[in-house]
Amino acid sequence: MTRRVLVLNGPNLGRLGSREPDVYGAASYASLVDTCRDLGAELGFDVEVRETNDEGELIRWLHEAADGSIPVVLNPGAFTHYSYGMRDAAAQRTAPLIEVHISNPYARETFRHTSVVAAVASATIAGFGIGSYRLALRALAEELSV
């Protein structure tokens, strides 16, 4: 049986490849989607990748995951640092939720050093580029097989 997994991305992630490639790399958002779906399939997951610039939409997706006990890989983007509504939605999780970041927030501006999500996530993976998503999916596979 294939397990459904949501990979949720916050603001500006759809601009991968053109947005600050020196920080976020040259891979496009389409490449990220393909990477997550392909690896997910290898791991026995049905991965659905979503991106939004709307905080309310991201909160609704987290509610959907909580209601369906769906594991989540979450890159909140800038919402990481200030969205208490998103944090509260993530806290309602009923399955593993792994926070991911392409860059290392601690190597960047001071305001990026605080994540309101980290305390309610199963884990945080950051600084490995698109590889952060691959590591998160592998970690989910490991956690869900126990």
For residue 58, give the nearest of 101, 20, 12 by alpha carbon: 12
pLDDT at position 36: 97
Does 88 appear as a known binding residue? Answer: yes
Place of tokens 């980290």: 118
CA separation, residue 43 to residues 33, 58, 138, 142 (Å): 15, 25, 8, 10
Does 22 appear as a known binding residue? Answer: no
Output the 3-class SS for 85-128: HHHHHHHCCCCCEEEEECCCHHHCCHHHHCCCCHHHCCEEEECC
pLDDT at position 138: 98
What residues does each domain of the chain span? Answer: 3-145
Instruction: Count the Cβ atoms, other than its own, within 10 Å of residue 19.
Output: 13
Give mean pLDDT, residues 26-49. Answer: 92
- Residue 5 forms beta bridges with which residues? 47
pTM of the complete model: 0.89
pLDDT at position 1: 65
Of 19-23, 89-93, 142-146, give the range with the top mean pLDDT.
Answer: 89-93
> Per the CATH hierarchy, to which homologous superfamily does domain 3-145 belong?
Dehydroquinase, class II (3.40.50.9100)
Catalytic residues, which ones?
Answer: 24, 101
Each residue's pLDDT tens digit, 53-100: 999 999 999 999 999 999 999 999 888 887 899 999 999 999 999 999
Higher pLDDT, 29 or 43: 43
pLDDT at position 111: 64
Does 112 appear as a known binding residue? Answer: yes
| CA 37/CA 113 separation, integer angstroms | 30
